[in-house]
Amino acid sequence: MSVIRLATEIPGPGSRAVIERRQRAVPRGVPLAAPIALVSGENAVVTDVDGNRLIDFAGGIGTLNTGHRHPAVVAAAKDQLDRLIHACFQVTAYEPYVVAAERLNALAPGDFPKKTMFVNSGVEAVENAVKIARYHTKRSAVLCFEHAFHGRTLLGMTLTSKVMPYKKGFGPFAPEVYRLPYPYCYRCECTRPLGSCCRAPRGSFEALVASHADLDAIAAVVIELQLGEGGFVPAPPEFVTMLAGFCRDHGVVLIDDEIQTGFGRTGRMFAAEHYGVAPDLITTAKSLAGGLPLGAVTGRAEIMDAAHVGGLGGTFAGNPVALAAAMAVMDAMAHDQVIARGERLGERLRGRLSALAQRHATIGDVRGLGAMVAMELVSDRATKAPAKELAGTLQAACLRRGLLLLTAGTFGNVVRILVPLTVEDAVVDEGMDVLEAALLDATVG
Ligand SMILES: Cc1ncc(COP(=O)(O)O)c(C=O)c1O
């Protein structure tokens, strides 16, 4: 039996009324991918104000790897609410912060002593990782990549690549940030065979870096091992190995932004595990606390300890309720075998999308690690001209049929899937059936 139950057309009258009020009360700069208003969610299914049940392939942009309202997360948060809501970790200690830090230290890759600090969001984790790296190295330059997304604060948007909508009109940007090309294999013009990355030769990489920045003044490299907002592009392994070697040899801190890739999304706890590298610092947020706002920086103890007392922190950073939720997420991931489920889910999604690509020439590429899967739409497979409009039409067609779905990519032509990893097989299949039917509509109609 279908889980999608449409009580009204979408958006229904209730949603339309909320959206109208939203327009009057909220600045237009805050975007809205799907013009509906939700009242509840359970695992991968959400219900809107009109009583429509929709399948959620957007997962709060990757914050819900363990699903909407995982029972263990709800129970842990409620239990913490009954005891201590907040105190501020800079004023007094509380055990959940310490235990959650110990657990993240143990989970992060790397056989060396680690420490963790908590913050409120992804971008705050990135900002703090850069602060820590600068303090540790006593250097200021930061390398980042084209197509990257690292958040919306001044430094976060400086590190972010895409101008519209993230940066337009918001300059001047932070100094000492240098951007390098990301190895986007599908759009790379090199003629090397697949699997031998043209950007991996160390000499040419060093020359490229040296043309932007003083090699002795680089504090950190910030990278997403698979681009998130930039279009779900995984970095080739040989490029990552080369980059890790470059960082090691030049004393540069390797900051691995796992905010979207982390917590099982790629079929491993962290994407870094696919590459066999142990980053110096890892930033996490999104699915870390099952939907509650929490971010973290985890990394080598001697780097994390560099900054002076009082140099790091934040009033709400490491809120006890969010931390209780995060520990329940870590428990649930082990108990529900979420990582293995994510790996199987990825195979299922890739299988369906690859079969679809055989029938639709508009699908230029199907890619992604684990369940971090996407398809890139093109108007011509030979020229790879991005089909941005089609991606938008498809997204709207899916919504009308009861499937929440997000686009991504510098060219706006990537359709990405961030469904909870705990989703039931029947629900995934139903969502994929909708996607298939909507694609037919969007390409024929
Ligand atoms: C890779 C990556 N880094 C940083 C961020 C910023 O996180 P937040 O929106 O929680 O500040 C995001 C958000 O999408 C992200 O995907």
414: three-class secondary structure by DSSP: strand
DSSP annotation string for 197-245: -TT--HHHHHHHHHHHS-GGGEEEEEE-SB-STTTS-BPPHHHHHHHHH
Is there an atom of ligand 1 within 6 Å of 228 CB? yes
Pairwise CA distance, residues 167 & 35, whole Å:
24
Alpha carbon of 165 to ligand 1 centroid (Å) = 15
| pLDDT classification of 445: cutoffs 50, 70, 90 | low
| Residue owning the nearest CA to atom 13 of ligand 1 | 151
**pLDDT attached to residue 406:** 98
Is there an atom of ligand 1 within 6 Å of 122 CB? yes
Q: Convert the pLDDT of each residue in 386-417 to its tens digit.
A: 999 999 999 999 999 999 999 999 999 999 99
Q: Convert the pLDDT of each residue in 9-23 to its tens digit.
A: 999 999 999 999 999
For residue 286, give the ligand 1 atom closest to its CA. 10
Average pLDDT over residues 299-315: 98
Average pLDDT over residues 112-130: 98
From 64, 119, 150, the mutation candidate for ligand 1 (largest count of ligand atoms within 8 A of CB) is 150
136: three-class secondary structure by DSSP: helix
Alpha carbon of 160 to ligand 1 centroid (Å) = 10
Pairwise CA distance, residues 259 & 230, whole Å:
13
At what angle are helices 338-359 and 320-335 packed, to 10 degrees?
A: 70
User: Global pTM?
Assistant: 0.98
| Residue owning the nearest CA to atom 7 of ligand 1 | 122
Is there an atom of ligand 1 within 6 Å of 229 CB? yes
Average pLDDT over residues 150-175: 98
For residue 258, give the ligand 1 atom closest to its CA. 1
**pLDDT attached to residue 195:** 67
Is there an atom of ligand 1 within 6 Å of 150 CB? yes
* Residue 193 DSSP code: P
Is there an atom of ligand 1 within 6 Å of 153 CB? no
Pairwise CA distance, residues 119 & 132, whole Å:
14
Are 94 and 84 in contact, with CB atoms under 8 Å apart? yes
Are 170 and 157 in contact, with CB atoms under 8 Å apart? yes
Average pLDDT over residues 344-370: 98
Is there an atom of ligand 1 within 6 Å of 58 CB? no
For residue 124, give the ligand 1 atom closest to its CA. 11
Q: Convert the pLDDT of each residue in 104-120 to its tens digit.
A: 999 999 999 999 999 99
Is there an atom of ligand 1 within 6 Å of 57 CB? no
Alpha carbon of 123 to ligand 1 centroid (Å) = 6
Alpha carbon of 20 to ligand 1 centroid (Å) = 28
Is there an atom of ligand 1 within 6 Å of 259 CB? yes
Is there an atom of ligand 1 within 6 Å of 287 CB? no
Q: Convert the pLDDT of each residue in 192-212 to its tens digit.
A: 876 678 999 999 999 999 999
Alpha carbon of 260 to ligand 1 centroid (Å) = 7
For residue 229, give the ligand 1 atom closest to its CA. 16
Residue 9 one-letter amino acid: E
Alpha carbon of 398 to ligand 1 centroid (Å) = 25
Residue 232: name the closest of 119, 353, 128, 334 by CA.
Answer: 353
Is there an atom of ligand 1 within 6 Å of 260 CB? yes
Using the predicted structure, report yes or no on whether residue 190 has a pLDDT greater than 90.
no
Q: Convert the pLDDT of each residue in 242-257 to its tens digit.
A: 999 999 999 999 999 9
Is there an atom of ligand 1 within 6 Å of 232 CB? no
User: 109-129 as b/e, with b when 16 or more CB fall inside 10 Å?
Assistant: bbeeebbbbbbbbbbbbbbbb
Is there an atom of ligand 1 within 6 Å of 262 CB? no
**pLDDT attached to residue 78:** 98
**pLDDT attached to residue 277:** 97
In whole numbers, what is the pLDDT of the chain averaged over residues?
Answer: 97
From 286, 287, 418, the mutation candidate for ligand 1 (largest count of ligand atoms within 8 A of CB) is 286
**pLDDT attached to residue 353:** 98
